[in-house]
Structure 1
């Protein structure tokens, strides 16, 4: 009898432990907070900007966990459920989230969520380098001049009446929207100038869904805007004095940064980091690195650096990190890194590579 009681006690204890662990899992993270604007973001930069602007009046959750590469992520039904119950869903647009069309339709006609394409108003860089590599010192972006943007009064929400569909997993959904089929560069946030437009769009969205706290959102945005403008000035001034303007990167993620600060990126891989370059492309880049005395090849932390390392060995140069800020690693998250600390690190590494 004692043995049976012990077994029963153990089963009960294990059941309680499992329940407690489940309560600490992702579903708990997605729980809404009463009295706040509940916001769901598609990836890290939007999460950071929304936290800064929303402040104490917002509860912000990010769909993509630390250490996960956004290009490889697709949503599940719990992600759709979280977004449908929120007041705001923020996504980058410009083709970054290949799954977003089906996701927005899946929110259903009963959802009150305001969906916002944060890149709205940015002059997008046209062309897909995966459909034709340009290496020999050619610019991969459309222009070297700063684009003027207007976002005042823009409406970025979508009407999804009648668009309900069954709740389901979106793994592998919408293959036609894969990153390899992009015809624009989606990596808008890598330039502080584009980030300013995105932050303003997010501010406008907060004011629209919660006008009572509009003054707080405006104030928080002003603080963020000041930091972004200071960062823009710093990039402009500290990158201006170098004769060398070429950077070799593992992933074609820095078109907006290069456009705004008059740099030229030569990419090993195209818009999607999973795209495999041809052997001829690697040989051409290695030749370019040697012929032009490029001292470093940049890689990023959420994508394997194998190709960058291979090319660096072939060209007899070193590697450095240039972070596309698509997400934090668990180590960066633990250390308290954010958009600004990582961009400052990028600036230092760019200066080192341009010397």
Structure 2
């Protein structure tokens, strides 16, 4: 993994540095990347202080912890990570902490997807990736389960404020249920079901809303495709009337745009929400606003 130089302070994943001094009377929480930080902030509310390890604009597949991160996590009461293989460093990291915080695997209880895209099994297209797909949060249905896991962790750690956590969780779940309904209704009658994406990050979204992803790259966005993969995808695009090739903002869009140019189709953003860009932070974006844009872009591409 690419090591990034340690900055003078850790930045919160939502953009903006967070004071890491433990506030009196608040549960100290450390999360590994933006979607978990979002859940911790929304559910913890005024009773928690959340810090995110991965800085704004950094792709989590490219990040690994530094020695100062060990100290940050060791001083927390809760450490929330995604699991499902996203944080390949987490087991060794937690061993280095010793008697540290209670750990929460946010993806616990979600039916995980194999890392092999369905198309790969058919010998057609797709990157040669193995293992488990860790991108659970990209589906509102999975995000609801993750929210439940984070809520339960707060209640177990700080039962004195359960009423607050329950209220915050109820409000968040209502919004996630509405987002789920919007995706289900909004994608129910689209004329196409295939999406060509730069990064194999949308398996849970596709499973839950009846789509099929054709990825240029694998589970990690730096998993380079084979030349034959690119030829197969270009052929797939032409033969199946695909109008849009999706790229994401935290990684290079070069392959997606090259492929789109060769196939004479357009490009658009489909955001896997692995982190926010500085521009998104400045605009006040969050999980909901970005997922709404994802839905709009999917509907436009699949109409």
Q: TM-score normalised to the size of structure 1?
A: 0.78
Which residue number in structure 2 is paired with residue 342 of structure 1? 290
1:26 paired residue among 10, 13, 19: 10
CA contact (8 A) 1:203 1:218 kept: yes
1:210 aligns with 2:158: yes
Inter-CA distance 200–322: structure 2 relative to 1 (3 Å threshold): same
Report which of the two structures shows the higher radius of gyration computed on alpha carbons. Answer: 1
1:319 equivalent to 2:273? Answer no
**2:62 pairs with 1:72:** yes
Bigger mean CA offset, 79-88 vs 29-38:
29-38
CA separation of 1:342 and 1:91: change in aligned 2, threshold 3 A: same
User: What's 1:195 paired with?
Assistant: 143
Alpha-carbon distance between aligned partners in 2 of 1:281 and 1:233, rounded to the nearest angstrom: 34
Cα distance 1:79–1:134, how it changes in 2: closer, same or farther (>3 A)? farther
CA shift at 1:134, angstroms?
Answer: 5.5
Specify whether residues 135 and 294 from structure 1 end up closer, same or farther in structure 2 by C-alpha distance, changes over 3 A only.
Answer: farther
Change (3 A) 1:50 1:129: same
Report SS of the residue matched to 1:297: strand
Detail structure 1 runs of 4+ shifted over 6 Å in the superposition.
Answer: none
Q: Identify the match of residue 45 of structure 2 among 40, 55, 58.
A: 55
Give the SS at the match of 2:214: strand
Q: CA deviation at 1:292?
A: 1.0
- Residue 352, structure 1, aligned to residue 300, structure 2: yes
2:237 to 262, 267, 289: 289
Asked whether the equivalents of residues 135 and 284 of structure 1 are also in contact (C-alpha less than 8 Å), the reply is no
SS at 1:26's partner residue? coil
RMSD: 2.1
Q: Residues 15-164 of structure 1: matches in 2 within 5 Å?
A: 25-26=9-10, 29-109=19-99, 111=100, 113-129=101-117, 132=120, 136=124
- What is the match of residue 220 of structure 1? 168
Task: Note the alpha carbon deviations across 1:201-228, whole angstroms, 9 max, x for none.
Answer: 0000000110000111011000000000
Contact 1:135 1:285 in 2 (8 A): no
- CA change 1:133–1:331 in 2 (3 A) is farther
The answer (yes or no) to whether the contact 1:135–1:266 under 8 Å persists in 2 is no
Q: In 1, are the aligned partners of 2:125 and 2:229 still within 8 Å (CA)? A: no
Q: Measure how far apart 1:29 and its partner are.
A: 3.2
Q: TM-score, normalised by structure 2?
A: 0.91
Measure the CA separation in 2 of the matches of 1:130 and 1:60: 37
Aligned residue for 1:245?
A: 193
1:30 Cα deviation from its structure 2 partner: 2.6
Q: Is the 8 A contact 1:134 1:266 kept in 2?
A: no
State yes or no: 1:236 paired with 2:184.
yes
Q: Distance in 1 between matches of 2:125 and 2:219?
A: 18
Q: 1:261 aligns with which of 183, 206, 209?
A: 209
SS at match of 2:113: coil
Shift of 1:325: 0.3
Number of equivalent positions: 290
Q: Distance in 1 between matches of 2:220 and 2:185?
A: 30
Residue 137 of structure 1 contacts residue 246 of structure 1 at CA under 8 Å; is this kept in 2?
no
Q: 1:182 to 1:278 in 2, by over 3 A?
A: closer
User: After alignment, is 70-79 or 26-35 more displaced?
Assistant: 26-35
